[in-house]
Structure 1
Amino acid sequence: MMKNPSKVRLYGAGGHSRIIQSILKQKGTVITEIFDDNPSFYQSTYNNAVLEGRKIAKKFPHKGNPFIIAVGDNFHRFEIAKFLQSDFTKIIHPSAVIEENVKIGNGTVVYAGAVIQPNTTIGQHVIINTLASVDHDNILEDFVHISPNATLCGLVHIGKGTHIGAGAVVIPNIKIGKWCTIGAGSVIIKDVPDYAVVVGNPGKIIKYKSP
């Protein structure tokens, strides 16, 4: 598994970025630059203790240290990735438990306490959030977000851009389509088609929503 680089750049200065900054600090990784679409807002909102004296810029050079897109919204992260002509890296919290044969794409962030079991493949720019559990033989496509305390049982396939809400549970052998939204606490016991919004226990489709 690729080691975290010693220097990175971040795109995004919001709450998701602050958690990533904390992970990087624990790993001894230097953040050389932070960029955001609205730098003046975040520069005035966060004190220097959070930013450690760094300025947030809007314009950025395409060449430089590897990037992490520090943005929680899946579609926004997708849009940013399209125009960032840069190398990306992956960030893994020291407390995450990841089996050796797990494959993780660049741009992905794995948060504190997450567990990823054998033979799982995770795409690019994925978020595996705090205490999320991803069991064996899962496939997570690009730009997926697995929220805190969510549980994916074995042999689950999550389509591109799908958001699995906090505390949701997906039983084994389930396929969830692309750009779906699975509500917090939902229990998914059957396959979910593309663009579906699902809530409840058992999960029921309440509408369809494109990104």
Structure 2
Amino acid sequence: MPTSPEPLIIAVGGSGRHARVVLEAADLAGLAVRGVLTDALPAGEAFFGSHRVLGGLDRLHDRSLLQGCQVHLGAGDPDVRRAMAETVLARDGQLGTIIHPAGIISPSAVIGAGTFVAAGAIVGVGAVLAEACLVNTGASIDHDCRLDFGVCVGPGARLAGAVRCGADAYIGLNAGIRQDLRIGRGAIVGAGAVVTRDVPAGQTVIGCPARPLVR
């Protein structure tokens, strides 16, 4: 099971709620956490138990801080995750992977750096997850699926076999996607939607069967 071999720094985005999920998974997996970066608390304060704040998110620009550690993206928002990842990678930093011990990962699956797999999630045979993906609690990524950079899969969502999701796609809570479909870059699949045909890049679909959202 791929996990980060070097100490982790958790970059906390938004409310910090997702970061707490990430930190608990890291602790349960026995991973070393050097500390967190957040704009919500001053350096030296405790964040979620004994984890210490190392400074604000501006420190993601600090090459010296990034040496000898890996950064995990403690944010649920896809745009925030991408911005964090790009900042780290542009400064020759490394992204760290966290997989909850209660996640189920096929030995033949490939998990990209910076990806998070939550408790109860399943990643099936031959699935490939690129960098900075987020697979939330109880989600299922079936055999031969491919998730490009930054794809977020909501709690309880189900991707049948050989689904392809373009970069930054967002699959909502309890959504289902039929086998062999393509979800385009930046597309959004609404909560509970049942997708029976390809979704073009940038499109939002809702309902059962899923249809384009008319704004």
Corresponding residue SS for 1:55:
strand
Match in the other structure for 1:19: 21
1:108-146 Cα distance to aligned partner (Å, 9 max, x none): 000001111101110000001100011111010010001
Identity of aligned residues (%): 27
The one-letter code of the counterpart of 1:50 is F
- Mapping of 1:1-211 within 5 angstroms? 1-5=1-5, 7-12=7-12, 14-36=16-38, 38-40=39-41, 48=46, 50-52=48-50, 54-55=52-53, 57-58=55-56, 59-60=58-59, 61-62=62-63, 63-64=66-67, 65-84=69-88, 85=91, 86-207=93-214
Q: Please, what TM-score do these two structures have when normalized by structure 1?
A: 0.89
Distance across 1 between alignment mates of 2:140 and 2:212: 23
Unaligned runs of 5+ in 2: none
Contact 2:33–2:51 under 8 Å retained in 1: no
Unaligned runs of 5+ in 1: none
Contact 1:39–1:56 under 8 Å retained in 2: no
Change (3 A) 1:119 1:18: same
CA shift for structure 1 position 35: 1.0
Count, aligned residues? 202
When the two chains are superposed, the root-mean-square deviation of aligned CA atoms in Å is 1.8
Q: Comparing 62-71 with 113-122, which one deviates more in the overlay?
A: 62-71
CA shift for structure 1 position 196: 0.4
Q: Comparing 47-56 with 164-173, which one deviates more in the overlay?
A: 47-56
Distance across 1 between alignment mates of 2:47 and 2:147: 36
The runs of 4+ residues in structure 1 deviating greater than 4 Å are none
1:160-180 Cα distance to aligned partner (Å, 9 max, x none): 001100100001111010001
Distance across 2 between alignment mates of 1:122 and 1:50: 28
